[in-house]
Amino acid sequence: MKRLTDLEFDNRFARLGDSFSTSVLPEPIAEPRLVIASESAMALLDLDPAQALGEDFLQIFSGHRLWAAAEPRAMVYSGHQFGSYNPRLGDGRGLLLGEVKNDAGQYWDLHLKGAGQTPWSRMGDGRAVLRSSIREFLASEHLHALGIPTSRALCVTTSSTPVWREKREQAAMLLRLAPSHLRFGHFEYFYYTGRHDELRQLLDHALACHFSDLLDQPQPVAALFRQVLERTAALIGYWQAYGFCHGVMNTDNMSLLGITFDYGPYAFLDDYDPNHICNHSDDSGRYSFRNQVPIAQWNLAALAQALTPLVEVDLLRDTLALFEPLQQAHYLDLMRRRLGFCAAEEGDAALIERLLQLLQQSAQDYNLFFRRLGDQAAEQALQTLREEFVDLAGFDAWSVDYLHRCARDSGDPSQRSVRMHAVNPLYILRNYLAQQAIEGAEQGDFEPVRELHAVLSRPFEAQDGREKYAKRPPEWGKHLEISCSS
Ligand code: AMP
Ligand code: MG
């Protein structure tokens, strides 16, 4: 276990030079306070919370102090936002502080979000507000606990520095961890500016640092694209199976590693609604829950376009065609487990689809349904759930088919409940829960955020005294309006 000052830096991305990022120092926020830190994220850096959490920690993660070996850089990238190409995005309010190598030899990017203006800030103030920093922290650590690939969050600090959005708010900083901050948009930037040497250099960097098992492939860049596609397909499988809406699937928010990245107006579905749009600014519903599947493929096509100087178009096109079947296979696999099945059957997709229609029609809470289905033996659970459905005949017909399907399955029926509870969370990060915790934090009470984080870090385990977190949301809590960058 290490102290904060003992971290070992090896800043591979910074060494690529000024074509890829610019050196910028963080602008500190005033009178910093620690809102929350994640012990499990600290463990990724071998940090001992007992030693690491202290004045140094607060000073570093509010931009006042830096390690001598850190080399803060703002990365340049571009990307497609809501379908239109934006030639210049880049880190407008976040800095890559450096890359830390842990005792196991794994690398972690330390990225400080809300660190002040950079050459890519455009009209922005370079700041992040407390509420969006808390939302990113809670979601990162919760998705990780659910088993969904994601960037991680080490801590959030807040301050007396004012930030103006619709009203005066508090400037905050979030320390994000990820093995890499490379986005699809990084590659688009060098493609659209015609800088193919740098494009090649960035791909060589990505291969060497993050996809080294592909270096001996006959066509490493083509293999990299295929792996990015496979990981993205798996990720979208998770999102769709667990009802996670990202909200801003612009190509600059898509990680090359296929992890959930750049949290904004995200939401978990409350009532099942495939047309749900969680981003209040997304008028056309481009990023609705249902559209996440075709949009991920669209984004992969945008990445493929950027790789055309290096890989044959036909090969990229053939790889792209694999997305849908791969995504669907991952999704079905997860849904089968959510329903308590161990083996796969031909008719599973249709059985799942019929269930989703029933859930939608009766406005059933998506994640609680699966949890409750596992609370009792199948027959009893269906009896309990039945009274909440409007189409009773439809539900009864589905129940009969589900019971038959359970009977045919290879899984041990006596373990069904255990199996299901291990994949169906009792606690889910609902927008209204985040909202209540944020309101406390904005008044200087960080206990609600810390408690919510503690609950959501063990989402599959019933926790005594924390029943209120497992409830269906109140009506007001289903209609919170959350928009893009804040
Ligand atoms: P996001 O919506 O957070 O993914 O950000 C999209 C782009 O806008 C990125 O280039 C960000 O760096 C930039 N950006 C977002 N908020 C700010 C801000 N307050 N100041 C400067 N740049 C920002
Ligand atoms: Mg972004």
Pocket test of ligand 1: the residue of 93, 174, 483 to mutate, having most ligand atoms within 8 Å of its CB, is 93
CA 84–ligand 2 middle distance (angstroms): 15
pLDDT at 302 over 90: yes
Note whether residue 310 is domain-resident: no
Q: Going by CA atoms, what residue is nearest to atom 2 of ligand 1? A: 485
Residue pair 75/21 in contact (Cβ under 8 Å)? The answer is yes
476 lies in some domain: no
Q: What percent of the chain has pLDDT over 70?
A: 100
Q: Are 246 and 267 in contact (CB under 8 A)?
A: no
Average pLDDT over all residues of the chain: 97
Position 326 in a domain: no
In a domain, 252, yes or no: no
232 within a domain of the structure (yes/no): no
pLDDT tens digits for range 137-169? 999 999 999 999 999 999 999 999 999 999 999
Ligand 2 is an ion; residues with CB less than 5 A from it: 253, 262
C-alpha 485 – ligand 2 centre gap (Å) = 8
How confident is the model at residue 484, as a pLDDT? 63
CA distance 75 to 23: 9
Return the pLDDT at 9.
98
Q: Is residue 361 domain-resident?
A: yes
pLDDT band at 407 (very low <50, low <70, confident <90, very high): very high
Nearest by Cα to 190 from 181, 201, 179: 201
Last residue of a domain, one of 144, 169, 184: 184
Mutate to test the pocket of ligand 1, among 21, 73, 485 (most ligand atoms within 8 A of CB): 485
Residue the block writes with tokens 């960097």: 205
481 pLDDT tier (thresholds 50, 70, 90):
confident
Query: In the predicted model, is pLDDT for residue 486 greater than 80?
Result: no
Domain end marker among 184, 204, 222: 184
Q: What are the distances in angstroms from CA 272 to CA 25, 370, 375, 430?
A: 45, 12, 20, 13
Mean pLDDT of 89-110: 98
Q: Which amino acid is at 286?
A: R
Question: Pocket around ligand 1: residues whose beta carbon is below 6 Å from it?
Answer: 89-93, 120-121, 124-127, 248, 253, 262, 264, 484-485
What value does the mean pLDDT take over residues 14-34? 98
Could you say which of 400, 423, 446 is where a domain stops?
423
Ligand nearest to the CA of 181: 2
Ligand nearest to the CA of 77: 1
Model pLDDT, residue 485: 65
Which atom of ligand 1 approaches the CA of 262 most closely? Answer: 4
Q: How far is the CA of 15 from the centre of ligand 2 (A)?
A: 23
pLDDT in tens, 420-440: 999 999 999 999 999 999 999
Active-site position among 18, 197, 213, 252? 252
What distance in angstroms lies between residue 393's CA and the mean position of ligand 1's atoms?
50
Closest CA relative to residue 335, chosen from 408, 242, 234: 242
Please tell me the total number of residues recorded for the chain in this structure.
Answer: 486
pLDDT, tens digit (0-9, with 9 covering 90-100), for 165-206: 999 999 999 999 999 999 999 999 999 999 999 999 999 999
Give the ligand at the shortest distance from the Cα of 252. 2
CB-based contacts of 153, cutoff 8 Å, min separation 6: 38, 41, 136, 137, 140, 141, 174, 175, 176, 177
Asked whether residue 265 is assigned to any structural domain, the reply reads: no
pLDDT over 70 (residue 409): yes
- Three-state SS for the chain is CECHHHCEECCCCHHHCCCCEEECCCCCCCCCEEEEECHHHHHHCCECHHHHCCHHHHHHCCCCCCCCCCCCEEECCCEEECCEEECCCCCCCEEEEEEEECCCCCEEEEEEECCCCCCCCCCCCCCEEHHHHHHHHHHHHHHHHHCCCECEEEEEEEEEEEEECCCEEEEEEEEEEECCCCEHHHHHHHHHCCCHHHHHHHHHHHHHHHCHHHCCCCCHHHHHHHHHHHHHHHHHHHHHHHCEECCCCCHHHCECCCCECCCCCCEECCECCCCCCCECCCCCCCCCCCCHHHHHHHHHHHHHHHHCCCCCHHHHHHHHCCHHHHHHHHHHHHHHHHCCCCCCCCCHHHHHHHHHHHHHHCCCEHHHHHHHHCCCCHHHHHHHHHCCCCCHHHHHHHHHHHHHHHHHCCCCHHHHHHHHHCCCCCCCCCHHHHHHHHHHHHCCCCHHHHHHHHHHCCCCCCCCCCHHHHCCCCHHHHCCCECCCC
Q: Which amino acid is at 297?
A: Q
- Does 375 reside within a domain? yes
- Give the model's confidence band at 104: pLDDT under 50 very low, under 70 low, under 90 confident, else very high: very high
Please state the domain count of the chain. Answer: 2
Which pLDDT belongs to residue 92? 98
- pLDDT for 51: 86
Q: Which domain holds residue 106?
A: 4-184
Which ligand 1 atom minimizes the distance to the CA of 94?
A: 12
412 as an active site residue: the answer is: no
Average of pLDDT values for 230-238?
99
